[in-house]
Structure 1
């Protein structure tokens, strides 16, 4: 069974409510205006891509990372952007979405094409692309994952203690009010709240206000509800494939039969996961809310994004040295100014054992 055939079988297990591979991809409108935030995110993504490229090319003796993903310096509002964007959409329907990087054996690397084939027409490099051993989609995140996880542990402990203390206070100090027939239904709700059930507990705040003690009791229920909501928020940083990309990544795999991966770059570490594992995860409804969630990403044009716990993948770089950053002024049409941040430098220190494991490379070959 080829890699493509294996992926094709996995697509049949993905719930159609999440991704319906039987339907054509949704058409998208051409963006008309870029924002400072959008350009900064693009710059950060370009930096992350360059970081991974340099790390592989400076570490490996036998493999080469090549820039491949469709890219241009044009942004919405620039002259020529509309035609570039339409060409990009046409390519998505023809070959699928190019991953940002391709990994070649040095013996297959075409020196004449060089380290950047992102602007080479796809129909002229089809056979070359099929020689790649991996395609890597590089995603970036403006977080330090270690600091984030430390903060989440503290947050969970804090609000868990607050919730349990509030539960005890309500049961011990307001039991007489709760024993009233109209309020007694809250007693079993409170008794069911434990450290183990906080993550799934839900209830309606009563709204009592006819006496001072009932107002106090109601406020305690509000505090309990607020603490539980904090506990139930997603507490992991994610590898973030967009739902709309799943189909066009599959199309690319169908076209080239090259294994595909997602690498998520944080400002302190890099994690990676295979597209195959992504499909396996999202095919299991029991993993939703635990290993992955599906959310509208306000930081990414409100696009529906699958957020998979980064720790479900492998640590590809155990350390990242942060880049230098600076502000840039860009003048658009009609004198409109945009100010954004660019990133330069930085170093990713690869966990070579994990990298060769995820890419399926022999220990002595890298």
Structure 2
């Protein structure tokens, strides 16, 4: 069974409520203007790609990483953007979404094309691209994953402790009020709260206000509800494939039959996961809420994004030296100014064993 056939089989198990591979992707409207935040995110993504490319090529004697993903400096609002956007959408519908990087064995690497084939027409490189041993989709995140997860652990423990203290205070000091028939239903809810169950608890804050004592009790229920909401927030950083991207990644795999991987770059580490593993994880509904969540990303045009716990994948870089950064001024038409951040330098220290394991290669 070829790689693309294996992926085709896996797509059959993905719930259609999540991704319906039989339905063509929805047309995307071209953005009308860029923002400073958008350009900064794009610059960070470009830096992350370059970081991984340098890490592979600086450590490998058998393989070469090549920039492949479609990328232009043109942004919405500039002359020529509408044509660029239309051409890109047509390419997605015809070939699928190119991975950001390709990895070739040295014997198949074409020196005359160099380490960047992203500007070449996709039609001109089809046979060459099919020789790649891996395609890597690079995602970037503005976090230090280790610090974030330690902070989230402390936060969760804090609100679990506080929530249970509020519960105890309610049961100790206000039990006489809860004994009333109209309020009795809250007693079993409170008694059921434990360090394990509080994360899944839910109730409606009563709204009592007719006496000072009831107002105080109502305030305690509000505080308990706030603690529960904090506990229920997602406490992990994620590898973030967008639903619309999964369809076009699959289309590209069907065309080129090259194994595909997602690498999530944080400012301290990099985690990787195969496309096969992503499909397997989201095919199992028991994983939702534990290993992945489905969210509409307000920071990304409200697109539906699957957020998979990064540490479900493999750590492919155990340390990163942070990049240099500087502010840039960009003048748009009509005198509109954008200020954004660019990134350069930095070093990713590969976990060579894990890198080889995830790409299923004997050595680097």
Instruction: Please state which band the TM-score falls in when normalised by the shorter chain.
Output: over 0.9
Find the aligned partners of 1:299 and 1:64 in 2 and give their Cα distance.
34
2:102 is aligned to 102
What SS does the corresponding residue of 1:245 show, helix, strand or coil?
A: helix
In structure 1, runs of 5+ residues without a counterpart are none
Q: How does 1:19-30 map to 2 (within 5 A)?
A: 19-30=19-30
Bigger Cα displacement from structure 2, 84-93 vs 97-106: 84-93
Deviation at residue 300 of structure 1 after TM alignment: 1.4
1:126 is aligned to 126
What SS does the corresponding residue of 1:5 show, helix, strand or coil?
A: helix
2:211 is aligned to 211
Matched, 1:140 2:146: no
Deviation at residue 31 of structure 1 after TM alignment: 1.3
Matched, 1:263 2:263: yes
Deviation at residue 345 of structure 1 after TM alignment: 0.3
Deviation at residue 198 of structure 1 after TM alignment: 1.1
Q: How does 1:229-268 map to 2 (within 5 A)?
A: 229-268=229-268
Post-superposition Cα deviations, 1:269-326, rounded to whole Å, max 9, x if no partner, equal: 0000000000001111111111000111112121110000000000010000100000
Matched, 1:72 2:72: yes
1:86 is aligned to 86
Deviation at residue 79 of structure 1 after TM alignment: 1.1
Q: How does 1:176-187 map to 2 (within 5 A)?
A: 176-187=176-187
Post-superposition Cα deviations, 1:137-175, rounded to whole Å, max 9, x if no partner, equal: 000000000110110011001000000000011001101
1:293 is aligned to 293
Bigger Cα displacement from structure 2, 272-281 vs 76-85: 76-85
Deviation at residue 35 of structure 1 after TM alignment: 0.3
Q: How does 1:1-366 map to 2 (within 5 A)?
A: 1-363=1-363, 366=364
Deviating above 2 A after TM superposition, structure 1's stretches of 4 or more consecutive aligned residues are none
Post-superposition Cα deviations, 1:342-364, rounded to whole Å, max 9, x if no partner, equal: 0000000000000000000013x
Post-superposition Cα deviations, 1:122-141, rounded to whole Å, max 9, x if no partner, equal: 11111100000000000000
Find the aligned partners of 2:37 and 2:290 in 1 and give their Cα distance.
30
Find the aligned partners of 1:73 and 1:39 in 2 and give their Cα distance.
9
Find the aligned partners of 1:32 and 1:178 in 2 and give their Cα distance.
56
Find the aligned partners of 2:166 and 2:185 in 1 and give their Cα distance.
17
Post-superposition Cα deviations, 1:1-40, rounded to whole Å, max 9, x if no partner, equal: 1110110011010011110000001000111100000000
Find the aligned partners of 1:123 and 1:339 in 2 and give their Cα distance.
36
In structure 2, runs of 5+ residues without a counterpart are none
Find the aligned partners of 2:297 and 2:225 in 1 and give their Cα distance.
25
Find the aligned partners of 2:301 and 2:205 in 1 and give their Cα distance.
33
Find the aligned partners of 1:302 and 1:22 in 2 and give their Cα distance.
23
Over the residues paired in the alignment, what is the CA RMSD in angstroms? 0.6
The number of residues matched between the two structures is: 364
What SS does the corresponding residue of 1:109 show, helix, strand or coil?
A: coil
Find the aligned partners of 2:332 and 2:47 in 1 and give their Cα distance.
23
Find the aligned partners of 1:324 and 1:299 in 2 and give their Cα distance.
24
Find the aligned partners of 1:229 and 1:335 in 2 and give their Cα distance.
44
Find the aligned partners of 2:216 and 2:347 in 1 and give their Cα distance.
55
Bigger Cα displacement from structure 2, 173-182 vs 294-303: 294-303
Find the aligned partners of 1:297 and 1:355 in 2 and give their Cα distance.
29
Post-superposition Cα deviations, 1:27-58, rounded to whole Å, max 9, x if no partner, equal: 00111100000000000000000000000000
